[in-house]
Amino acid sequence: FQNDSVVAGGGAIEMELSKYLRDYSRTIPGKQQLLIGAYAKALEIIPRQLCDNAGFDATNILNKLRAKHAQVGAPFEP
């Protein structure tokens, strides 16, 4: 049995920065939008690698992390 609950700290900072940059990139035009979006995507490599190293389904965990980070002001609970 694998426990795939979301744990604070395991890539949480990178996911929050990725969310912030992704949101910011939608507000600017041109090539800069693409560059900032690519940087945001690159930040998600860190939590993805942590999931892979732990033997978890990275896609499932990253989706949970994105959902938690999308809840504005919500406490971070597993």
Tell me how far CA of residue 17 lies from CA of 1, 8, 21, 66, in angstroms. 31, 14, 6, 11
> 36: pLDDT confidence band, cut at 50, 70 and 90?
very high
Higher pLDDT, 34 or 63: 34
Task: Kindly tell me if the per-residue pLDDT of 52 is higher than 80.
Answer: yes
Beta-strand ranges (E) seen in the chain are: none
Distance CA 70, CA 49 (A): 21
Question: Which residue do the tokens 């609950």 mark?
Answer: 5
Domain ranges of the chain: 12-71
